[in-house]
Amino acid sequence: MSILVVGSVAFDTVQTPAGRADRVLGGSASYFSVAASFFAPVHLVAVVGKDFTEEHARLFRDRDIDLSGLSHLPGETFRWSGVYGDDINQRTTLSTELNVFQEFKPVLPERLRKSDFLFLANIDPDLQRSVLQQVKRPRLVACDTMNFWIEGKRASVLEMLKGVDVLLINDQEARELALEANTVRAARKILGFGPSSLIIKRGEYGAALYGSHAHFAVPAYPLLDPVDPTGAGDAFAGGFMGHLARSAALDDATIRQALVVGSVMASFCVEDFSLRRFQSLRPEQIRTRIKEFGRMTQYADPA
């Protein structure tokens, strides 16, 4: 089954303790689609400027990602610049230039409206809702959002969540969305807003799944040499949705596996700047890491 992702394509300038990358391909839809493409066909809907060249497009086409929904507008592509501290979990945004992204009004080509799986990457909740209105009963809708929208467009975020099955956010965003200081309580409350599953992304601490009767948690794969955490959350979502689409199943057991696949794809993402690690990544390397991940979490019942 195929996946439709609506989000951003950007050029990032990133500095981390491991080095620096200038004006490299980034954006939520880029990370998501490349990670998901290892598991299922992906259709990307986003907007780029005239600085997005055939060379950039090739990076997606090499992974068989459908770019027919990518709008090309005059002007520059969205740019983001940030720096990570010695503690690589601490990020400071230096600049954000929306450029053509300001004019982004996703209109889905007719044949994409019947997608089975839809991922609404972190964009304006008004745009997320407009996409939801255009699609025809997808089997699963997942989405991401952030404090900027939760604070600034709370009503729209809550409206959007009514149409969403899986919400992927971090602890702090969950607490802010639910107005609850305790994450477990916040999760319960958010499950009342619409989503049947909530995934709390915890960065280097892994991820937790909250559902109506299930709770599941996975650690992060430990990296000796993390290079750049940018996009890890979107790569997680890509691996997560990719596994669901490949399995064509949405039961609890498959969702648990999808969290593991998401964690593994996030770990590869962090191993290099931009989408570079995915360019050389081979399916057997993914399988090997999934196996390692299993050894990292298994134990015999001590009861």
Q: Which of 184, 248, 279, 285 binds a second copy (CB under 8 A)?
A: 184
Shortest approach of a second copy to residue 14 CB, angstroms?
Answer: 17
Shortest approach of a second copy to residue 16 CB, angstroms?
Answer: 11
Question: Are the CB atoms for 207 and 263 separated by under 8 Å?
Answer: yes
Shortest approach of a second copy to residue 256 CB, angstroms?
Answer: 4
Nearer to a second copy, 43 or 175 (CB): 175
Shortest approach of a second copy to residue 19 CB, angstroms?
Answer: 14
223: contact with a second copy by CB under 8 A: yes
Q: Which of 182, 279, 280, 285 binds a second copy (CB under 8 A)?
A: 182
Shortest approach of a second copy to residue 136 CB, angstroms?
Answer: 29
Q: Which of 54, 181, 212, 282 binds a second copy (CB under 8 A)?
A: 181
Question: Are the CB atoms for 41 and 64 separated by under 8 Å?
Answer: yes
Shortest approach of a second copy to residue 196 CB, angstroms?
Answer: 18
In angstroms, what is the C-alpha Rg of the chain?
18
Per the structure block, which two tokens stand in for 221?
A: 């794969």
16: contact with a second copy by CB under 8 A: no
Q: Which of 63, 201, 243, 277 binds a second copy (CB under 8 A)?
A: 243
Per-residue contact string for residues 52-91; x = within reach of a second copy by CB under 8 A = ----------------------------------xxx---
Q: Tell me which stretch binds a second copy (CB under 8 A): 20-28, 74-82, 105-113, 258-266.
A: 258-266
1: contact with a second copy by CB under 8 A: no
Shortest approach of a second copy to residue 233 CB, angstroms?
Answer: 16
CB-based burial label for 283 (10 Å; 0-12, 13-18, 19+): exposed
Q: Which of 122, 183, 267, 274 binds a second copy (CB under 8 A)?
A: 183
> How far apart are alpha carbons 21 and 298 in whole angstroms?
37
CA distance readout (Å), 111 to 4, 30, 55, 69: 11, 21, 26, 10
Nearer to a second copy, 76 or 204 (CB): 204
Question: Are the CB atoms for 28 and 122 separated by under 8 Å?
Answer: yes
297: contact with a second copy by CB under 8 A: yes
259: contact with a second copy by CB under 8 A: yes
Nearer to a second copy, 11 or 38 (CB): 38
Which stretches of the chain bind a second copy, using CB under 8 A?
17, 86-88, 175, 181-185, 188, 202, 204-206, 208, 215-219, 222-226, 243, 253, 256-261, 286-287, 290-291, 294, 296-303
